[in-house]
């Protein structure tokens, strides 16, 4: 990580938005993403106890994804439409994977979801990371390919090489780096990890 570039970005950002994400202009942008409502929706519909019914859990996952402003309009219907076509075992693996990702063995959960979504060509970073980003907004990170590639290049995150196919190793290392970067700047730039990623994106 190039700390000097990060601090320069922080200075420029705060010179334009002195109160960080509390600035009225950024508050207006934030309202479009409805972050608070999406966090509430995900946390309420995807509680640990709600995964007992795989179909209901999958539909809840689809509901969160379909309402997210951060997921591509092309990916939303594809995820929704794949749910009814999954065999019961695959449906259990998908929702069980999300449960593990959110509340248990994260790597196993990530890989279980990947194993279901890859064969149907839906192993996308956005679909894999959007729900954890809402359920645990201070701990997990949403990965959008263009932003991730830009952040790696702009802030010289050596050792991180983006690949289109999601992997737990890359996610874990990228997330740890983002969480470390958060600690190096003013807290008004990171009311959530999604907001902090927005700051990085706007600074590039």
**pLDDT one-digit tens code per residue, 127-183:** 999 999 999 999 999 999 999 999 999 999 988 999 999 999 999 999 999 999 999
* Owning domain of residue 95: 37-135
Q: How many domains does the chain have?
A: 2
| Contact (Cβ atoms closer than 8 angstroms) between residue 77 and residue 108 | no
Instruction: Using only the alpha carbons of the chain, give its radius of gyration.
Output: 17
CA distance 28 to 39: 18
Same domain, 44 and 130: yes
What value, to the nearest 5°, has the Cα angle with vertex 161 and ends 181 and 109? Answer: 80
Which of 114, 135, 156 marks a domain boundary?
A: 135
Q: Does 47 share its domain with 116?
A: yes
> What is the rounded distance in angstroms from the CA atom of residue 26 to the CA atom of residue 38?
18
pTM for this model (two decimals) = 0.90
What count of other Cβ atoms lies within 10 Å of the Cβ of residue 82? 18
Shared domain check, 90 and 124: yes
Domain shared by 12 and 88, yes or no:
no
């Amino acid at each position: 990580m190039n700390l000097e570039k990060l601090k320069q970005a922080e200075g420029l950002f705060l010179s334009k938005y002195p109160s960080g994400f509390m600035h009225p202009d950024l508050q207006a942008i934030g309202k479009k993403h409805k972050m608070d409502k999406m966090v509430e929706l995900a946390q309420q519909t995807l509680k640990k106890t709600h995964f007992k019914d795989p179909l209901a859990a999958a539909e809840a996952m689809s509901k969160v994804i379909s309402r997210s402003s951060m997921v591509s309009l092309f990916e939303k219907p594809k995820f929704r439409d794949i749910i009814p076509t999954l065999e019961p075992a695959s449906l259990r693996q998908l929702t069980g994977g999300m449960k593990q990702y959110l509340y248990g063995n994260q790597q196993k959960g990530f890989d279980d979801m990947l194993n279901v979504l890859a064969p149907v060509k839906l192993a996308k970073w956005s679909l894999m990371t959007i729900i954890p980003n809402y359920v645990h907004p201070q701990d997990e990170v949403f990965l959008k390919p263009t932003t991730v590639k830009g952040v790696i290049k702009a802030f010289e995150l050596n050792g991180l090489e983006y690949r289109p196919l999601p992997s737990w190793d890359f996610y874990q290392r990228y997330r740890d780096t983002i969480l470390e970067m958060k600690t190096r700047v003013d807290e008004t730039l990171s009311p959530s990890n999604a907001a902090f990623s927005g700051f990085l994106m706007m600074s590039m």
